[in-house]
Chain A
Amino acid sequence: MTETVLLYLFSAGALGGALAMLIARHPMRVALGLIGTMLSLASLYALLGVHVIAVFQVLIYVGAVMVFMVFVIMLLDTRDPSFVARYSRLLLPGLVSGALLAATLAALLVRTGIRGPRVPGSADFHLQPFSAAFLDRYWLHFELTSVLLVIVVVAAIAVVKGRGGRDG
């Protein structure tokens, strides 16, 4: 019972944050809406029993990505036209296409449903079994992420230095 109430509560929180992202004028408020959505999703993951992913969500998304985003919003706080007029010319087509996509996917979801039995007790998602499986079976993926991160650091420096260096 409590779980169901929490499920609906955090789902409403996630949807509310996403709606606030569409409506809010200042990017900082949009970022706060997104942070609210991400925290609600982390709570949903915890409710599903996948605590590892809930921790990843808070640490990586809210802790790293969104803090980075908030820094950049503070850095670029210029009063430009995108602040005065929130929406582009594509407001109506965008809303219509979004509603159409949502209706199509919802109809598909209702018609097909989700079949197949649920495997009881997803024990692997607790920290200790997950860590063992992660570093035992998926160690190559883990190492590949470190390679990816190095590539990203080099690429970010190349993006900033490449053009900016020549332009002065």
Chain B
Amino acid sequence: MDRTQFLIGLSVALFCLGLVGVIVRRNALVLLMCMELMVNAAVLALVTFAARGNDAAGAAYVFLIFVVAAAEIAIAIPIVLLLSRQRRTLDVGAYTGLGG
């Protein structure tokens, strides 16, 4: 099998595993980590395609994605901390107040 195709297949598998994790797990921190897994899968696809070319644009965008992902975690963790302080649990099933 072609190496590019294999890596894109791996990226698809990782993305789907992350999606399943976001849907089925209950712990808020585990949900965040599964989202990180999905971002990583997308980055793998981007890097695989970028490595086929001869341009630094792909690498520059991957750097931007890393910074945005770090920013996302830096915002998401205080939100989880506040939620767990308010509801005394990390179970996302208990956060029903967000449903309106």
Interface residues of A (CB under 8 A from B): 7, 11, 14-15, 18-19, 21-22, 27, 30-31, 34, 37-38, 41, 44-45, 48-50, 52-53, 56-57, 60-61, 64-65, 68-69, 72-73, 75-76, 78, 80-83, 85-88, 90-91, 93-95, 97-99, 101-102, 105-106, 109, 113-114, 116, 118-119, 121-125, 129-130, 133-134, 137-138, 141, 145, 148-149, 151-153, 155-156, 159-160, 163-164
Contacts and interface: CB of A to CB of B under 8 A. Distances in A.
Contacts of A159: 75, 78-79, 82
13 contacts: A11-B6, A22-B20, A22-B21, A30-B27, A50-B59, A60-B69, A60-B70, A61-B40, A72-B29, A78-B84, A81-B26, A97-B23, A114-B8
A106 B9 contact: yes
Question: What's the interface size class on B, roughly?
Answer: 35 or more
Contacts of A82: 25-28, 30, 89-92
Interface of B: 2-10, 12-21, 23-30, 32-34, 36-37, 40, 43-44, 47-48, 50-57, 59-60, 62-64, 66-71, 73-75, 77-82, 84-85, 88-94
A129 to B, nearest CB: 7
A18 B29 contact: no
A129 B55 CA distance: 10
B13 to A, nearest CB: 6
Given A90-B23, A160-B78, A122 B51 contact: yes
Given A37-B14, A82-B28, 4 more contacts: A11-B7, A61-B69, A105-B16, A119-B54
A145 B24 CA distance: 33
A95 B29 CA distance: 20
Contacts of B15: 105
A69 to B, nearest CB: 7
Given A30-B30, A148-B71, A90 B24 contact: yes
A72 to B, nearest CB: 5
Nearest to B52: A118
A163 B82 contact: yes
